[in-house]
Amino acid sequence: AQSVTQLGSHVSVSEGALVLLRCNYSSSVPPYLFWYVQYPNQGLQLLLKYTSAATLVKGINGFEAEFKKSETSFHLTKPSAHMSDAAEYFCAVRVHNTDKLIFGTGTRLQVFP
Amino acid sequence: GAVVSQHPSRVICKSGTSVKIECRSLDFQATTMFWYRQFPKQSLMLMATSNEGSKATYEQGVEKDKFLINHASLTLSTLTVTSAHPEDSSFYICSAAVPGEAREQYFGPGTRLTVT
């Protein structure tokens, strides 16, 4: 069975600091992985996706993620946090041979001035 | 990216009534759409997979007679909460999978349902 685990339900950073949100996956087949962001009372917005074309994936809003098979990780990073990055972030894996997604429990990012 | 709309954004209804929520893919055709429920400060819970032209596939524990799903066209899926009760109050979000290798999902803005 496939799954994702997000370490840290809350992450706080100062504006301008590095953002690192952790996601580890479990999959017996090459996975399709995604990061989504959710602002309060809104749906989810796709930040980036991993499809095995490249291990370093660049997304929107300056975010990127690196697929590391040896560590079964797909951590999300951004070099410099902005106040507008404060939101809930979800890592997800696509279930093999389906279109379903399995989501992590989410990480709430707070950005302090 | 692809755009998915959802209507209404908020609805308040009385206990025992039914509520219909619409989900539309605006710039692509979606053979598969999904309906999720999200409780406060929690992750998304998949309720069902909506398949165009066929019956929806419900996740374990989801009452299919209570949450009726219809996917009548390649751009529209509806979720009807029948005989709503206060415990059905929640944030409902739909999504649609786009064609391509990753089949990533694009999400609607969500519907806040409050049953009084």
Residue B54's pLDDT band, with cuts at 50, 70 and 90, is confident
> Residue B101 in 3-state DSSP?
coil
Residue B100's pLDDT band, with cuts at 50, 70 and 90, is confident
Residues of chain B neighbouring A105 (CB-CB closer than 8 A): 42-43
* Dist CA B5 CA A42 (whole Å): 12
**Interface A:B, Cβ pairs < 8 A:** 57
- Long-range contacts, A25-30 (Cβ 8 Å, 24+): A25/A72, A25/A73, A25/A74, A25/A91, A25/A93, A26/A1, A26/A2, A26/A72, A27/A2, A27/A3, A27/A72, A27/A93, A27/A96, A28/A2, A29/A96
- Read off the pLDDT of each residue in A48-56 and give the average, rounded to a whole number: 91
Mind telling me how many Å the CA of B9 is from chain A's nearest CA?
9
pLDDT tens per residue across span A29-47: 989 999 999 999 899 999 9
Q: Nearest by CB to B43, which of A45, A46, A90?
A: A90
* Chain B contact probe: residue of A32, A46, A105 with most B CBs at under 10 A: A46
